[in-house]
Structure 1
Amino acid sequence: MLNKKEQRLRRSRQTRARIALQGVERLTVFRTNLHIYASVISADGGKVLASASTAEKEVRAQLGVAGKGACVDAAQLIGKRIAERAKAAGVEKVAFDRSGFAYHGRVKALAEAAREAGLQF
């Protein structure tokens, strides 16, 4: 019997295998109880083209006194930042890799904010 983390990792491996066949850059999301991280990774999987997270000093300052990255507002901010950085790196179209996390809450907020900021997926 697999535990919760092993189940998530199994789902993420399946997703990454499908994305690798597409041959496009991928927007990867990782979330913890305190922060959310997003990275745009090259099609061959060998290089990080852009990244953003709530652990960054500027983001914590922008979030205010609470400074917590574990909220939907923080995820939306990271979605906008990753889209801007990806476009600056010359990436317009990506595949969304939710890393086995449910498409709900913070993961969904990050994805929708990235779409609104101009990333296509």
Structure 2
Amino acid sequence: MDKNKILGGRRQRRKYRVRKAVRGTTERPRLSVYRSLQNISVQVIDDSQGKTLVSASTLDTSVREQIAAGGNKEAAAAIGKVIAERAIAAGIKQVCFDRGHFRYHGRVAALADAAREAGLSF
């Protein structure tokens, strides 16, 4: 059996399990995290309208100047701070955290902690 097919199935099941409990509304949008090997990105999404309200990524030029590399905890913390600042500027103070199929540790946890410290509540 192909290892990628097995892991892909587990990831999909974990993603669906998390997604069925987390829905973004207008009052409390969803903070969705995507993590790759070299970058991390995050979006604040209103699922009732199907719109992305705020986003941040290590690929953004304003963030790129602050970080040395995009795939480490320091970069994730910087993105957490940036997304919190942008969300608060857009009038969003509470969000639902959607980790997707990523486990809550390492870069995902660093991003969440930095966003909480910068003023977002979830």
What is the TM-score with the length of structure 2 in the denominator? 0.88
- The match for 1:11 among 10, 14, 22 is 14
Instruction: Give the aligned residue type for 1:6.
Output: G
- In the aligned structure 2, how far is the partner of 1:4 from the partner of 1:118? 35
Match of 1:107 in 2: 108
- In the aligned structure 2, how far is the partner of 1:10 from the partner of 1:104? 19
- The match for 2:46 among 33, 42, 45 is 42
Q: 1:74 to 1:45 in 2, by over 3 A?
A: farther
Q: Report Cα offsets for 1:56-76 as digits up to 9, x if no partner.
A: 11212111xxx3100100000
Number of equivalenced pairs: 117
What is the RMSD of the two structures over their aligned residues, measured on CA atoms? 1.6
- In the aligned structure 1, how far is the partner of 2:49 from the partner of 2:84? 18
- Structure 1 residues 23-102: aligned runs within 5 Å: 23=25, 24-44=28-48, 46-63=50-67, 67-102=68-103
Q: Secondary structure at the match of 1:3?
A: helix
Structure 1: which 5+ runs fail to align? none
Structure 2: which 5+ runs fail to align? none
Q: Secondary structure at the match of 1:62?
A: coil
- In the aligned structure 2, how far is the partner of 1:70 from the partner of 1:52? 14
Q: Secondary structure at the match of 2:66?
A: helix
User: 4+ runs of 1 displaced by more than 2 Å?
Assistant: none
What is the TM-score with the length of structure 1 in the denominator? 0.88
- In the aligned structure 2, how far is the partner of 1:73 from the partner of 1:94? 22
- In the aligned structure 1, how far is the partner of 2:20 from the partner of 2:48? 12
